[in-house]
Structure 1
């Protein structure tokens, strides 16, 4: 939709639904060339105004009219509707306009509207949080548990218990809450088709959770794709049209966002970079194949190699030994950095992004490793490619994926209203 390119977020979170809009002519039509009815047009315009305010953070009606190409009267009417819903609020004060003494009233998304629940599943446990429309975690519960060592039913029961607990402790949530879940692995149609980290195959998590919690509105997404949503809206990808997230932790994955639209590929498989074979006949992977990228840079793979020399070494100890100049560690870390550079090169050459964003447990919890990557990532990348993109570390700490999960749930909720 031409209309959506300006604000982007509508493509990402609502999709185009087969609609085409010509911003120059002010006409909208379906793919069948039939004109849209007034109700659909109203919803599209509400969503557009909402997205402009969300991306702008704090904007005036005049700015919204300029970006949306709607009249100020139309914008004013939509703002009034969004204010009645409690989604949009005016800020105190404002910025001077053209006339002397006049100040523009600025608008922002209400921080207390449409709170949702985000759930992050990872190999070592579950995080559950309350997320607002500014991408902030208002409350969080963390539970450590090796999910790969327990049956899916036990893990699902744990998630249901934690969701029930956080709902009981927060009275500001909607009467019928919306819950977004971010999970490692291949997610298709709400089913965890395969997760090498969790060792799960074809797990239908949603019906079990809906039955346990009594919550109808539960949604699930791949963890790196959920993280890409958070980075695009609130993080290091906010100012770029084409961004790639590279997550390195207990697994390796990526996700692409183009003009603020998440690229999924067939069967939601886009971005499964961790299982690209980079060394035929190389290290054994959890997926049962050899030479996968993650067998060289995931945390467990690095430690598996290091512990052939020192059985009790930790990741922090490994990084300190590297800083202290221990030769065997330097050799190991050089190989890790080489394969990280290969991963970045694959993404840069395949997608030609404006920015590649580093995230995941290894870069978030170990600043020494993050700094090593930022210093050495150019090793396997051609000069002509290096000049085409920025490499940045995520602005989030460890809660970016949780924010992405909660944000996806929030927009499912908004979809029923706007």
Structure 2
């Protein structure tokens, strides 16, 4: 075997062992060797290397044998910290997560998101303040991941286009790395939220789709635990599928996109043709009061949302579909209407092929997914030099 192949196999085994210890610790060397199908010598060598990195620690547990304590290993949970951030319309959420996936602290801040320079300045200051407040050295921060809506080049860390903020070609990674002096990753918020949902799911699903209905419309696919991205990280952008080329103008530059029938701003514009309408809470209240015009608007939007679910299921054939976004999470009556419309549109083979849920990770899903994505990068690379 070539040296390069040997090195790759060693790093892969290290990653698998670390992930197994995080999920199952405390655990013995013998149990690690058995589960990983490797020799006791190899297991001991990998465990020693992870101890050198200070990513795991020894613990001693009582055994059935009198007077004997066995050596076990578990994740050194505070050896490394992951920072997850969500930028949403009017709000920024930030969370610090430890190695075993527990949040140390989570904060939400109301902010203006019109100018990315202001957002970058604000995020940089808040992250530095939280790190200082928690007395965490920057050498323990493995990285920062920012999730936001839009077309994101996750390799370059560039916001290609975000209709919600009207940002184009913003080099967010570059700017934030200069501000924070930390490694920064940028990704689509729904992809990160789907990852958090997949990790948190109570059932062992293989393929999970999340759909988001709120300030925009999108979908994300997790398959075998990995985010499916497509060629340019554009997988799942169903909000910009054209339904009617002669329809309403969409900020993406096209007409009649799916989101122009469902997204909040378009619903409020439609409602304002009847009476001035400033928030979804007002429109939802009119719907609950059975005002005919409001019922017609949300009934039509729910019909399109239901069809979007059906089309995504037909395309991906997932084990489970999760519905998310402010329309779903903040307005249960709209969620029920969407599920009802979808149920009426399904065909027999499809209706029994998957489970349909409303998101469980809710408003902290993007922050959790962002932090988890950095955790996964660390586990896969194992090039972190830190400590606690």
Q: Please report how far the alpha carbon of residue 43 of structure 1 lies from its aligned counterpart in structure 2 after TM superposition.
A: 1.6
Aligned to 1:47: 15
User: How many Å separate the matches in 2 of 1:405 and 1:80?
Assistant: 29
CA contact (8 A) 1:132 1:138 kept: yes
**TM, length-normalised to structure 2:** 0.85
Q: Which position in structure 2 is the counterpart of 1:17?
A: none
What is aligned with 2:103?
137
Cα deviation digits, residues 224-244 of structure 1 (max 9, x gap): 2222222222x2386211111
**1:186 correspondence with 2:125:** no
Which among 385, 388, 408 is matched to residue 353 of structure 2? 388
- Per the TM alignment, residue 83 of structure 1 is displaced from its structure 2 partner at its CA by 4.6
Counterpart position of 1:239: 204
Aligned to 2:171: 204
Distance, in Å, in 2 between the alignment partners of 1:334 and 1:41 is 55
Q: Which has the higher contact order (CA 8 A, sep 6+)?
A: 2
Q: Aligned partners of 1:341 and 1:104: how far apart in 2? A: 55
* Residues 1:348 and 1:159: Cα distance change in structure 2 (over 3 Å): same
The residue matched to 1:175 in structure 2 has which SS? helix
| 266 and 40 in structure 1: CA distance in 2 versus 1, 3 angstrom threshold | closer
CA-to-aligned-CA distance 1:4-61 (integer Å, 9 cap, x gap): xxxxxxxxxxxxxxxxxxxxxxxxx7xxxx4655443222111112233445587776
**Mean alpha-carbon deviation: is it higher for 277-286 or for 392-401?**
277-286
SS in 1 for 2:236: coil
Contact 1:114 / 1:410 at 8 angstroms: preserved in 2?
no
Aligned to 2:186: 220
Structure 2 Cα separation of the partners of residues 241 and 63 of structure 1: 26
Task: Specify whether residues 60 and 209 from structure 1 end up closer, same or farther in structure 2 by C-alpha distance, changes over 3 A only.
Answer: same
Distance 2:71 2:335 in 1: 42
The 5 A counterparts of 1:236-315 are 236=201, 239-312=204-277, 314-315=279-280
Mapped partners of 1:282, 1:222: distance in 2: 26
Which position in structure 2 is the counterpart of 1:327? 292
Aligned equivalent of 2:122: 158
User: Measured at CA, do residues 44 and 222 of structure 1 come closer, stay the same or move farther in structure 2, by a change above 3 Å?
Assistant: same
The 2-side partners of 1:359 and 1:261 are apart by: 19
Instruction: Tell me which residue corresponds to 2:92.
Output: 126
What is the aligned partner in structure 2 of residue 8 from structure 1?
none
CA contact (8 A) 2:298 2:334 kept: no
1:195 matched to which residue of 2? 162
**C-alpha contact (below 8 Å) 1:236/1:394 kept by paired residues:** no
Q: Is the 8 A contact 1:94 1:106 kept in 2?
A: no
In structure 2, the partner of 1:354 is: 319
Conserved 8 A contact 1:236-1:393: no
Change (3 A) 1:160 1:273: same
1:333-370 Cα distance to aligned partner (Å, 9 max, x none): 21121111111112111111111112222222233333
**Is contact 2:112-2:119 (8 Å) kept?**
no
Q: Could you say what secondary structure the match of 1:395 adopts? A: coil
Question: How far apart, in 2, do the equivalents of 1:164 and 1:406 lie?
Answer: 16
Asked if the contact 1:141–1:162 (Cα under 8 Å) also holds between the matched residues in 2, the reply is no
Deviation at 1:268, TM superposition (A): 1.3
Distance 2:25 2:225 in 1: 16
Q: Distance in 1 between matches of 2:222 and 2:324?
A: 15
Does 1:169 pair with 2:133?
yes
* Superposition deviation, residue 161 in structure 1: 1.8
- DSSP-derived class of the 1:158 partner: helix
For 1:13-28, what aligned pairs fall within 5 Å after superposition? none
Where structure 2 has 5 or more consecutive residues not aligned to the other structure, the ranges are none
Measured in 1, the distance between the counterparts of 2:58 and 2:299 equals 53
Structure 1 residue 87 and structure 2 residue 51: aligned? no
Are 1:367 and 2:335 counterparts? no
Partner of 2:78: 112
- 2:281 match: 316
